[in-house]
């Protein structure tokens, strides 16, 4: 296996989230002074972003999906992320090339889902996996 050593490396460096009703403006995202994006402390090399595009009778559709793992299910992490479960969020994803993708919008929020496991025996890893999927009529916003 060869590692890519060019200027287009793969992977996700950072995932941030905010409730869809918080921004006071969009494209670019404008947040009230007392609000900020919440960083999700995912396990290294477990996050991904997949982008799809298609055409429909109502125009273009842009699909975004992916996920990330949180190491070890524990209350402080679950409480921080679980409040975003459901269709209420906007994600800001920074890839390893420092490209920033704003996924979702106030009218087309991201759906975050949870799937976790304690493992079935001692050597298994305990994890909480989160996934997202959205189809929206506009491409992601860059910021």
pLDDT band at 123 (very low <50, low <70, confident <90, very high): low
Task: Taking residues 9-38, report their average pLDDT.
Answer: 93
Residue 87 has pLDDT above 80, yes or no: no
The confidence band for 91, taking pLDDT boundaries of 50, 70 and 90, is very high
pLDDT band (50, 70, 90) for residue 119: low
Mean pLDDT for 109-123 is 77
DSSP label at residue 81: H
Mean model confidence pLDDT for the chain = 86
**Cα(77)–Cα(102) distance, integer angstroms:** 23
For the chain, the C-alpha Rg in angstroms (whole number) is: 16
Q: How far apart are CA 52 and CA 61, in angstroms?
A: 8
How far apart, in whole angstroms, are the C-alpha atoms of residue 37 and residue 56? 33
119: left (phi over 0), alpha (psi -120 to 50) or beta: left
Average pLDDT over residues 92-99: 93
Percent of the chain at pLDDT > 70 equals: 88
């Amino acid at each position: 296996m060869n590692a890519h050593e060019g200027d287009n490396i793969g992977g996700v460096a950072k995932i941030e989230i905010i409730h869809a009703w918080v921004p006071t403006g969009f494209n670019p995202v404008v947040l009230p002074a007392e609000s900020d994006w919440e960083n999700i402390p995912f396990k290294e090399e477990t996050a991904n972003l997949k982008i799809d595009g298609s055409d429909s009778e109502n125009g273009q559709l842009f699909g975004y999906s992916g996920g990330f793992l949180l190491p070890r299910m524990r209350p402080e992490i679950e409480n921080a992320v679980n409040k975003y479960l459901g269709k209420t969020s906007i994600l800001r994803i920074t890839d390893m090339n420092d490209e920033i993708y704003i996924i979702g919008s106030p009218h087309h929020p991201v759906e975050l889902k949870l799937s976790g496991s304690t493992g079935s025996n001692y050597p298994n890893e305990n994890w909480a996996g989160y996934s997202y999927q959205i189809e929206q009529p506009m491409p992601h916003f860059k910021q």
